[in-house]
A and B are shown apart, each in its own frame.
Chain A
Amino acid sequence: MSDMTALSHEYETSASFAERVNAAVLQVKKACFHRDNMPEPAVDALADSSKQLANILGELAVRLASLRQSGDQIQLPQAMEVPEEVLERIENKQRSRLAYFIEDLELAAEALAGKGKIDNRVLGTLDEVCEAADAIASAMFRRLRRR
């Protein structure tokens, strides 16, 4: 596989992940900041988005925790959805407060699974993940276009 093809596939993966996360976060935010002029998200769509985000945040929490400790102690999920580059970006950005961020991820995953309230802290965590996914997709696109 050529460099160009590999890069093109990497962009496709990261852009599709960023798109999915962003669409799901939009649904959750629309439900939180609902106004009279805005149609409320459909119950099924909102449940799907929340479930999808809870899985992603849960996976991120486990993978970040495994980076902090030696890999053998923590069982990684079998099917991993979060691209490696997104994980690395979050790890680098949150390095100084990684333990707290993992806690935020776990709290947000629980809230999205219906075991807690979706407050500003949860929305902030979702924004962090969304920002990382978007930044990686944009960086890949710039690399692809420079060729």
Chain B
Amino acid sequence: MASLVHSLLFDTKQRCLFLLGQLERLKASVSNEAADYRSTMEELVRKALAAIEATLVDPGVREPQLARNFYYKYKRLAELLQGMEMGPVVALSRYNEQDKLATRIVHRICKEIGYPYRAPLCSSISSQHYLLSDWV
């Protein structure tokens, strides 16, 4: 179990690096209203990467009696990355003119009503409804 957890964390690190590469590539192409969102997501993935790297060098990760707890830790990190892959990265990579319009409208509404959080990014990735991507 302990070596399995180590391998899972190593795979998660590779996923993290891939995601960071994708977010980095999007830097040049995203428009102004999506740029902040992209930076926030990149920061979040960097934090996850730092947590994975710190766990991988922790001598306890190979300790069988601690394996269960390191596995739980891995699960939370994997959930974060899966959420990132299925939400923000998809939304940013296919961000187009229609999304831009919807995002601008929502940003304007947020400004007018004094919305206390970061205005969400809108993406028409569903055929049935708009997703207001504020998952993270």
Interface residues of A (CB under 8 A from B): 8, 15, 18-19, 22-23, 25-26, 29-30, 33, 35, 37-39, 127, 130, 134, 137-138, 141, 144-145
Contact = CB atoms under 8 A, between A and B. Distances in A.
Contact of B69 (A15, A22, A38, A144): A22
B68 interface: yes
5 contacts: A19-B76, A30-B66, A33-B65, A38-B63, A130-B72
Nearest to B77: A19
A15 B79 contact: yes
Given A15-B79, A145-B82, A33 B63 contact: yes
Contacts of B104: none
A141 B82 CA distance: 10
- What does DSSP make chain B's interface, helix, strand, loop or mixed? helix
B21 interface: no
A8 B65 CA distance: 32
B23 to A, nearest CB: 20
A33 B68 CA distance: 14
Nearest to A11: B79
A11 to B, nearest CB: 8
Interface string B41-84: 00000000000000000011001011011101101100100110
B76 A38 contact: no
B110 to A, nearest CB: 15
Contacts of B79: 15, 137-138, 141
B135 interface: yes
B63 to A, nearest CB: 6
Given A35-B63, A145-B86, A29 B76 contact: no
B84 to A, nearest CB: 12
Contacts of A141: 79, 83
Contact of B75 (A38, A127, A134, A145): A134
Given A15-B79, A35-B59, A137-B76, A8 B135 contact: yes
Contacts of A39: 59
For the complex of A and B, 9 pairs with smallest distance between CB atoms: A22-B72, A134-B72, A26-B69, A38-B59, A33-B65, A141-B79, A37-B59, A19-B76, A22-B69
Nearest to A26: B69
B65 A29 contact: yes
A4 B79 CA distance: 17
A18 B72 contact: yes
